[in-house]
Amino acid sequence: MRAAASLVALPLLAGATLPSTPNLGKAEGRCRTQETGPAFLVEVQGLKDRAGNLKLEVYPATDEDFLEDDNILIAAGKTFRRVEVPVPKSGPASLCIRLPGPGTYGVSLLHDRDGNHKFGWRVDGIGFAGNPRLGWSKPKAANASARAGAAPTRITIVMNYRRGLSMRPIAKED
């Protein structure tokens, strides 16, 4: 029964990403050299491979606004920030994203393996602040949020990829 419920919810996750404008929020999200203001310093763990790009986005930490279309958020004067970088060919993967001020924000990270600027559940990986266990629908904002202080705040996001009928981290080899 649980697998059947997951299959029914699958279209919800696939449709959760609305068309966006790829450059919205990038100027506001770009960290300065030696950033000292409110920002998330994100360490990425569990990458499947080194293909494509990493797209980090910050949203208001409400269920209504979390993962909402960037055009809608910006038009409403709500927080939206984006940073997109190529996956480093080796070594640790980390990103910095500036915030409008201290507070709690919803945070998503897409491993856009095919470089098409949107989430494809069959190909791409996804992770969230707080590293919630994923089903086939978007997590609650409270489970995918982090609190930022007045200076850069370190968080770790573990990537999840489709494995069978679920989205989960890649098992570590011992």
Q: What pLDDT tens digit does each residue of the chain (174 aa) get?
A: 444 444 344 444 444 444 557 788 888 999 988 999 999 999 999 999 999 999 999 999 999 999 999 999 999 999 999 999 999 999 999 999 999 999 999 999 999 999 998 899 889 999 999 999 998 788 999 999 999 999 999 999 999 999 888 889 987 653
Distance from the first to the final alpha carbon of the chain? 33
3-class SS shares of the chain: helix, strand, coil, % to 5: 15, 35, 50
**Exposure b/e, 108-125, CB count within 10 A at least 16 = b:** bbbbbbeeeeebebebbb
Query: Residue 172's pLDDT is what?
Result: 63
Closest CA to 158 of 148, 168, 149: 168
Query: Residue 25's pLDDT is what?
Result: 86
Q: How far is 164 from 143, CA to CA, in rounded Å? A: 24
Model pTM?
Answer: 0.85
Whether the CB-CB separation of 154 and 41 falls below 8 Å is answered with: yes
Query: Residue 8's pLDDT is what?
Result: 40
